[in-house]
Amino acid sequence: MSVSQSDFRAALLDPVQTIPDGLLDGADAPAGRRFNIYRNNVAVSLTEALHQGFPILTKLLGAQNMDGLAGIFLRAHPPSSPLMMHYGEALPGFLAGLPQLQHLPYLPDVARLELAIRRSYHAADHTPITPDRLGQIAPEALMLCSARLAPSAQLIRSDWPIFDIWRFNTEADAPKPQTGAQDVLVTRPDYDPVPRLLAAGAADWIAALQGGATLSDAYDQAAARHPEFDPGATLALLLQDGVITALTTEGEQP
């Protein structure tokens, strides 16, 4: 009697389920004990992957609660890749749908920030533009340029103070989180991802640049929602952290 992959996977990720009938070990004997050991090792490995991938979330919930959460999550979202660095992509949406965590509505966005840091770390390498590149473009033409941003740049927009929460749980003597929305750009200067708190309007500007808008059009989109927005400081941040990999003037090939 053969065992289907779906039955095997369901039993593997759920300790409540019985061992599939017909499952044999290498000696053609019922694989009961060996399967239980294997099932336990898989659950422990996936739980540890979530602990390592979401350290701030683990700290906020506590290790024991994170273990319980992982047990529920791994049954609902088994790995889709053999690379554990990708495990947990569905966790933010999963957290948002858990009734027992509705009193902590910021947790999904904290998980999104931690995922962004991980994606930034594993993103493809890139070469940022040099300051000389800006000097090659006339000031009046600069705002008509399009900017290509590094794949390591990860933009997170939140209704919650996710930067303050991240900093409070990672830096000694950091101030307690304040209320209010915060937007964060994760950059990777010197190959080490760093969350950067953005000023009001900066996320709109960066999102527009990522969508292919010129610096001028991106400013118009940001200023429509935040009239006080000045792109100067945000542009300086992108240059400082090596986020801009190309500046393309109109009609120029990137």
Domain membership of residue 204 (yes or no) is: yes
Single-letter amino acid code for the residue at 136: Q
Same domain, 133 and 237: yes
**Strand-strand pairing, 182-187 and 146-149:** unpaired
Distance between CA atoms of 160 and 219, rounded to whole angstroms? 24
Q: How many domains does the chain have?
A: 2
CB under 8 Å to 178, separation ≥6 — which residues? 161, 164
pLDDT at residue 234 tops 70: yes
Longest CA span, the chain? 78
Domain membership of residue 118 (yes or no) is: no
Same domain, 98 and 132: no
Same domain, 74 and 135: no
Domain membership of residue 78 (yes or no) is: yes
97-116, pLDDT tens digit by residue?
999 999 999 999 999 999 99
b/e code 106-127 from CB counts within 10 Å (16+ = b)? bbbbbbbbbbbbbbbeebeebe
Distance between CA atoms of 125 and 193, rounded to whole angstroms? 12
Same domain, 92 and 157: no
Domain membership of residue 113 (yes or no) is: no
| CATH number for the domain harbouring residue 218 | 3.90.930
Same domain, 130 and 224: yes
Domain membership of residue 99 (yes or no) is: yes
Domain membership of residue 59 (yes or no) is: yes
- Specify the pLDDT at position 3: 46
Give residue 101's Cα distance to chain centre: 20
- Among 104, 137, 167, residue at a domain's last position: 104
Domain membership of residue 111 (yes or no) is: no
Average pLDDT taken over every residue of the chain: 86
Domain membership of residue 213 (yes or no) is: yes
- Specify the pLDDT at position 124: 94
28 or 39: whose pLDDT is higher? Answer: 39
Distance between CA atoms of 124 and 150, rounded to whole angstroms? 8
- Among 104, 134, 158, residue at a domain's last position: 104
Same domain, 86 and 164: no
Mean pLDDT computed over 178-194: 95
Distance between CA atoms of 181 and 118, rounded to whole angstroms? 22
Q: How far is CA 214 from CA 84, 118, 128, 152, in A?
A: 38, 28, 18, 20
Same domain, 12 and 100: yes
pLDDT at residue 37 tops 70: no
Same domain, 40 and 4: yes
Q: Is 132 exposed, middle or buried (0-12, 13-18, 19+ CB in 10 A)?
A: exposed
122-156, pLDDT tens digit by residue?
999 999 998 788 888 888 888 899 999 999 999 99
Residue-number span of the structural domain to which 35 is assigned: 1-104
Distance between CA atoms of 189 and 149, rounded to whole angstroms? 13
- Specify the pLDDT at position 252: 56
Length of the chain: 254
Same domain, 147 and 72: no
User: Is the whole-model pTM more than 0.95?
Assistant: no
Task: Specify whether the CB–CB gap between 201 and 226 falls below 8 A.
Answer: yes
H or E stretch including 107? helix 107-122
Task: Specify whether the CB–CB gap between 111 and 96 falls below 8 A.
Answer: no
Same domain, 95 and 130: no
